[in-house]
């Protein structure tokens, strides 16, 4: 039983590092001897862990050369993430930066909303009231010409959050390694060499109609997601 727990711990940790980008496709992961030292366990435990990872298609073994991270495939994963529970630090305050109405949705990686009218809400969330930990952009489809006054914006956003977090709303979540939005990295006070993730959340009605999209930008060191293969 102890051995089972040990190799599952190693398996889950290496899998997390592959998914989060610590080990990237084509990278050679540490040798069995090195992994034994890292995890303070036996080579039998490491071999069992690697066997599970190979079964999942996450690694490839090249005889006499080593173990490498496999190229990404279209295999489906289940990702569990929520900004209140999946961050290593707690969000204790937020600031609404901008609320803007647009006549046409143009985001390239969301073709379902292309051409629709929507409201965009940009905000930044803090831990300890001073350190930015999350930059969020919500895009909400609307047909009404809302006239959102600044002093009442936080009330409307709070109501929107309740709707988006409802169990009646079906969600799709995608994890993306994003180092292209350098402007957002600056707002999060991230140095160029530090990674940043984008969590994209799509929201659907009970009828399956997409009506909202959220892009959450988070420093890679501050995120803690659960992924099942």
CB atoms inside a 10 Å sphere around CB 63: 5
Q: Please tell me whether residues 64 and 110 are part of one structural domain.
A: no
Q: Please tell me whether residues 182 and 144 are part of one structural domain.
A: yes
Outline where DSSP puts E strands in 31-169.
Answer: 59-62, 66-69, 78-80, 93-102, 118-127, 131-141
- pLDDT tens-digit readout, 166-182: 877 888 888 887 878 88
HSE-up of residue 223 (Cα within 13 Å, Cβ side): 29
Structure confidence at residue 64 as a pLDDT band (50, 70, 90): confident
- pLDDT tens-digit readout, 74-100: 555 556 677 767 787 888 899 999 888
Q: What is the pLDDT of residue 3?
A: 36
Q: pLDDT > 90: what percent of the chain?
A: 21
Q: Please tell me whether residues 128 and 204 are part of one structural domain.
A: yes
Q: Please tell me whether residues 214 and 120 are part of one structural domain.
A: yes
Q: Please tell me whether residues 172 and 146 are part of one structural domain.
A: yes
Q: What is the pLDDT of residue 187?
A: 92
Looking at the 3D structure of the chain, how many domains does it have?
2
Q: Please tell me whether residues 104 and 6 are part of one structural domain.
A: no
């Amino acid at each position: 039983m102890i051995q089972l727990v040990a190799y599952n711990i190693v398996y889950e940790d290496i899998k997390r590092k592959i998914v989060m980008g610590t080990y990237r496709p084509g990278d050679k992961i540490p040798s069995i001897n090195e992994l034994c030292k890292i995890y303070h366990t036996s080579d039998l435990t490491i071999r069992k862990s690697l066997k599970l990872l190979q079964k999942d298609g996450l690694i490839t073994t090249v005889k006499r050369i080593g173990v490498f991270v496999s190229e990404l495939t279209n295999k489906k994963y289940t990702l569990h993430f929520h900004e209140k529970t999946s961050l290593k630090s707690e969000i204790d305050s937020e600031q609404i930066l901008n609320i803007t109405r647009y006549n046409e949705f143009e985001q390239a990686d969301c073709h379902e909303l292309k051409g629709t009218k929507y409201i965009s809400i940009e905000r930044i969330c803090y831990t300890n009231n001073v350190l930015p930990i999350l930059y969020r952009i919500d895009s909400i489809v609307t047909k009404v010409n809302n006239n959102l006054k600044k002093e009442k914006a936080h009330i409307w956003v709070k109501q929107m959050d309740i709707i988006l977090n409802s169990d009646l709303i079906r969600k799709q979540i995608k994890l993306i390694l994003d180092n292209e939005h350098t402007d957002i990295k600056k707002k999060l006070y991230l140095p160029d060499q530090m990674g940043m993730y984008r969590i994209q959340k799509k929201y659907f009605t009970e009828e399956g109609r997409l009506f909202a999209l959220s892009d959450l930008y988070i420093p890679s060191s501050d995120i803690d997601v659960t992924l099942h293969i």
